[in-house]
Amino acid sequence: MVKLGINGFGRIGQMITRASAHFPDVEVVAVNDPFMDLDYMVYSMKYDSTHGRYPGTVEGKDGKLFVDGRPISTFAEKDPKSIPWRDAGATIVIDCTGIFKTIEKVLGDLCTCIQASSFVFVIQPEENLIVSKHRRECTLR
């Protein structure tokens, strides 16, 4: 089972969450977005102006986002060093913020904070980033 953490729950983060519903061996276990509260996460996941209404169930309860009955831990951290990905069960973290676009930013800011046990994928890089190649330089907590 692949367990995803998503940093940035805008359009791209939500599309990854929607797509994961089609793969039984993929589960989103955590999302972080400091600019979106849980109620808005529920609303924007349910109703997408481009992709339409989500066909499954989406609700917020006890501080978690539930998509098709699966609980997803939610965080609202601006500093990625404060996100407890490993505690949430993430084995892969996907950054969808658009902030980490260079290898220096990834290695300097993002990798030092990732607490997941596997890899980091960056959406919208300015360079060709292969973070797993630089894994030895990433500090995993």
pLDDT in tens, 21-66: 999 999 999 999 999 999 999 999 999 988 899 999 999 999 999 9
CA 53 to chain centre: 21
Q: Is 22 helix (H, G, I), strand (E, B) or coil?
A: coil
CA 28 to chain centre: 8
pTM for the whole structure: 0.80
